[in-house]
Chain A
Amino acid sequence: MKDPSITSLAYERMARRWALPQALMGGSLALQAAGTRYLPRHPAEHGRTYAERARRSVLRNFFRRTVQKLVGRVFANPLIIDAATPPALVALLQNMDMMGRGLNVFARDWFEDALVNGLSHVLVDFPAQSESTAGGRPYAVHITADQLIAAQWDLHGEDKILTQIRIREKATDYQGFEEREVAQIRVLERDSWSLYRADDRGDWHLVESGENSLGRIPLVTLYSNRSGFLEAVPPLEDLAFLNLEHYQIRSDQRNALNVASFPILAASGYDPEIDGAIEVGPNKVLTTTENEGRYYYVESSGAALAAGARELEALETAMQLFGLQFETPGGGETATGRALDAADALSPLSAMTMNLEDSLNAVLALLAGWLDIPDFGAIGVSRSAPGSGNKAADMQFLMAARQLGDVSKEELLAEARQRGLLGDSLSVNAAPGG
């Protein structure tokens, strides 16, 4: 039986490394749901004790915070739409996915997925129904890293031309008021597409197929840490492991603190048959028949707790530095930084930004390709201008340069855009009326 759900070797290699970053993005609930995979059970730890410990373990999510921070840095300013972009395409960018997401929001989600997994994809598709083709329009579908389960390609010179991709997706079947999620595999080839669904026995059946009139597979891949064609490594993998370690130590520390926080009443020379039941409380007297007998509280010295706290503190510093050094070029190298090899992560954010720009322009080209628009303009990602950091002073300098004729009007406007003083792409942030 033909099984389109078979995953590629590259996918298998990558999927092993996506699990932790994706679980961290899911937060405490995702890690708790993963059970002993990310919170191992101690030897001889009672099942009920472990379950209680796991339930109380909370992730302090440095990973997600770093991801959001880096994404926020790239999208601090809106994307820039070239003035030469035809209005028809600008209209498409206002509602990229026909679900109301404008270019900036769509690109942000795309970039975040790429930052977590190392790569992410966009399929620039067109409606399949012929009767609605007249009013159809191309649109972008975000294909997350784990949705693209396989890809095949041909070599044309040095170019790799995709010949087949397989996308895992979910459909919803409605039966009256009830609904059921059904897994399906979409197979795209250069001139055709087909859709497979699994029956209750797990056998896959072709349920729909059609023509791909574009004549090529309209897939654009955004890499944040490319290791090969359609293959990448999560760029924040080291941070993910640090965060996992923090989660595990914090779980133990929380458990130890829980135990240590409650002094245990102990007794020596106590005979329950003679001394009777122990009652603790105001106006109660504890006695023993033994001369040497005594009651006392057993308490932790706190040494282990302090060690655990120090370890957690060190990890937190390391994670903060990792994120900081990742996003701030030229940051001072610390011992922790060297340990994390974070210096290697100084330039990637700007490289990722450039990749994002290239990929967005590839999406724009495909949107234009569906509509036979030869000149489609460009999309630019606003980068931090190499200025003084003082926007007013920078602009004063630029204005003076403009008056002296040292810079053109276009250059002046471009510099102003780079400093976020001109937001010319606000019109594509959301769908009309949305």
Chain B
Amino acid sequence: MFDFPLDVEELTDIPAQFQPLYARAETGFQLVPDLAAKLDVSGLRSALEKERSAAQAATKELAGWRQLGPDPASAQARQAAAAEAEARIAELEARNQTNLITHKATEAVLKGNGSPELLLPHMQAALTVVDEAGQSQLRVLASDGSLRETAEGSWMTAEDLVEEFRGSPIYARAFDPPLRRGSGMDPAGGNRSGGAISGGSHWALNTRIEDIAAGKVTLVG
């Protein structure tokens, strides 16, 4: 490929077919200005250098990005999603612990014939959830934040706490009196229900009408 030098001393240095593109100058011959301007590639070279530098920077940047992920945008999105998910998980875990405490505390209170409305706030304040071998376990907190144990050395349960509340003069009032039912045997060996009375006796009917209504006395005849 011919390089079209801008100045030559002799025209014979130029191939014959390109000699018309040269004109006599003060010293020697010069490429015609229009063509000379078109063949000037110094700008192009600097642009190329710039592009090359940009490409290298881009490649470098791309490698950096590639280290982060296949796609910076999606990686960023994923990172954002992951952060959001972690926050959500933490929130759910906290909510799960709260629900677990509430559930177990309610269950223990109801089982102990206590009032959940009155006792739950105190139960919730005294209970916590710990992770043991990947399992969530309910524990009772002492006033200093440590975990409470029973006299036998095992971890105190929600049921134990309910029993402790029942024995307390303050919290005992939050418990229903236990429903007790025996056979109601008459100590005199008779029938406590009062037996039966004659339906034909108006006097008997009038005097024991409340017992009849309560089912304590049966009518015969």
Interface residues of A (CB under 8 A from B): 97-99, 123, 125-131, 133-134, 136, 138-142, 147, 167, 169-176, 182, 184, 186, 188, 193, 195, 207-208, 210-214, 218, 370, 372
Contact = CB atoms under 8 A, between A and B. Distances in A.
A372 B178 contact: yes
Contacts of A147: 189
Contacts of B111: none
B190 A175 contact: no
A213 B184 contact: no
Given A139-B187, A173-B195, A176-B204, A211 B177 contact: no
A125 B184 contact: yes
Nearest to B177: A134
Contact of A133 (B180, B196, B221): B180
B187 A141 contact: yes
Contact of A126 (B182, B191, B196): B182
25 contacts: A126-B180, A128-B182, A129-B184, A130-B179, A130-B181, A131-B214, A133-B180, A141-B186, A142-B187, A169-B189, A170-B189, A171-B191, A171-B195, A172-B190, A173-B197, A174-B194, A174-B195, A176-B197, A176-B204, A186-B183, A193-B183, A195-B183, A195-B191, A210-B183, A213-B179
B201 A141 contact: no
B216 to A, nearest CB: 7
Q: Which of A129, A142, A182, A370 has the most CB of B within 10 A?
A: A129
B198 interface: yes
B163 to A, nearest CB: 10
B188 interface: yes
Contacts of A125: 182-185
Nearest to A192: B183
Contacts of A172: 190-191, 195
Contacts of A193: 182-183
Contact of B183 (A170, A171, A212): A212
A127 B195 contact: no
A97 B186 CA distance: 9
B193 interface: yes
A421 to B, nearest CB: 34
Interface in B136-184: 177-184
Nearest to A99: B187
Contacts of B177: 134
Contacts of A139: 187
Given A127-B184, A136-B180, A169-B185, 8 more contacts: A125-B185, A126-B180, A139-B187, A140-B187, A141-B186, A169-B191, A174-B194, A212-B183
Given A175-B204, A176-B203, A170 B190 contact: yes
Contact of A212 (B181, B201, B204): B181
B201 A175 contact: yes
A214 B183 CA distance: 10
A213 B203 contact: no
A246 B111 CA distance: 65
A133 B198 contact: no
B197 A188 contact: no
B188 A99 contact: yes
A167 B185 contact: yes
Contacts of A140: 187
Nearest to B201: A176
A127 B192 CA distance: 9
B1 interface: no
A218 B9 CA distance: 137
B220 interface: yes
Q: Which of B179, B181, B221 has the most CB of A within 10 A?
A: B181
Contacts of B220: 173, 175
Contacts of B203: 176
Nearest to A175: B198
A134 B178 CA distance: 9
B189 A126 contact: no
A126 B192 CA distance: 11
A37 to B, nearest CB: 25
B169 to A, nearest CB: 14
B181 A211 contact: yes
